[in-house]
Amino acid sequence: MKISINELAQLLKGKVEGDGTQQVHTVCKIEEGFAGALSFLANTKYEEYIYTTQASAVLVNKEFAPSKLVQTTLIRVDNAYEAFTYLLEKFNSVSQSLKGIEANSFVEPSAVLGKDVYLGAFSYVSKNVEIGDYSKVYPQVFLGADVKIGKNCIIYPGVKIYHGCELGDNCIIHAGTIIGSDGFGFAPLADRSYKKIPQTGNVVIENNVEIGANCAIDRATMGTTRIEEGAKLDNLIQIAHNVVVGKHTVMAGQSGIAGSTKLGPYCVVGGQVAIAGHITIADGNQFGGQSGVLAGIKESNGKWFGSPAFEVKDYLRATAIFRKLPELQKRLNALENELKQLKGE
């Protein structure tokens, strides 16, 4: 899709500085710009590239003041990052305008498919499944019995959603993710073996949730494992049975939450963070990468790091001391030797 810079500016309610008659047909990074592409500058770390980029146009914030001559055309907007995101959504919606049922897919007669649903080849829709209007189910997706999927959802290839699980509207599930697999529930017996505990609950994913590739979200033992509205999960994340992930919480890759833990809304979880089971974490808390969260947190909006995790300011003080330990050990040894000499004298 080609569009002139002037038309783009009008769409974004921005102001053009330069040749607005040029046309753009794609987007690019500012450091990799080329003719016909649109880029953006929102982070001052990348300002050097705006003076050399070959992109036909660059979105910038209204207050941006260049320190050198800029060769490219600028589009000044209130927020360059938000404007660029909006355009990416527009470009993406055009490229994903799929609908209809492809050959070699299977749909049980009792399933209900909404308006303009897309169903890819080799996908399997079990009995009593409901798929909302305009949702897209890509090839090789399995939807178990009684699964419900809302409107405008995107289920990418290879996703498996087990029986009884529910997705709200505008959800995106990336390739290879499993929703509703059994929770890790086993009862120890007297002979030191383990007996499987039936996992009879489900998973409910609320509206506007995005889940990355190759995640596992376990069904509840009883009741519901819940991912609340607006939460965003990266790739390779484990959510155990009966967990609640609060609304608009974000989790980075390779992090995991053990069973029956409640993670509050607006939390930020870094990569490879491990959160123990049966605890409650208040809203707005942030956890640095590789933290180990072993106890509940009652206070809101804290910042935590380390394993076991404690407040960032205390962690930084402890780290500073830890780095000095080899030197402190040398000084302690020297003092011990000096004390021995004094005693000998």
Q: Which residue bears the tokens 């003092």?
A: 335
CA-to-CA dists, residue 175 to 18, 140, 157, angstroms: 42, 10, 5
Element (H, E) at 341: helix 312-344
d(CA 170, CA 157): 17
Q: Give the residue among 141, 156, 133, 135 at the shortest CA–CA distance from 106.
A: 141
Q: Which positions are catalytic?
A: 241
242 contacts 183 by C-beta, under 8 angstroms = yes
d(CA 148, CA 178): 15
Tell how strand 136-137 and strand 124-125 pair up. Answer: unpaired
Give all strands (DSSP E) within 150-277, no chain letters. 154-155, 160-161, 166-167, 172-173, 178-181, 186-188, 194-196, 202-205, 210-211, 216-218, 224-227, 232-233, 238-239, 244-245, 250-251, 256-257, 262-263, 268-269, 274-275
255 contacts 239 by C-beta, under 8 angstroms = no
168 contacts 151 by C-beta, under 8 angstroms = no
d(CA 167, CA 147): 8
Residue 22's identity, in one-letter code, is: Q
d(CA 60, CA 56): 13
> Which residues fall within 8 angstroms of residue 193, CB to CB, at 6 or more apart?
none
Element (H, E) at 48: helix 47-50
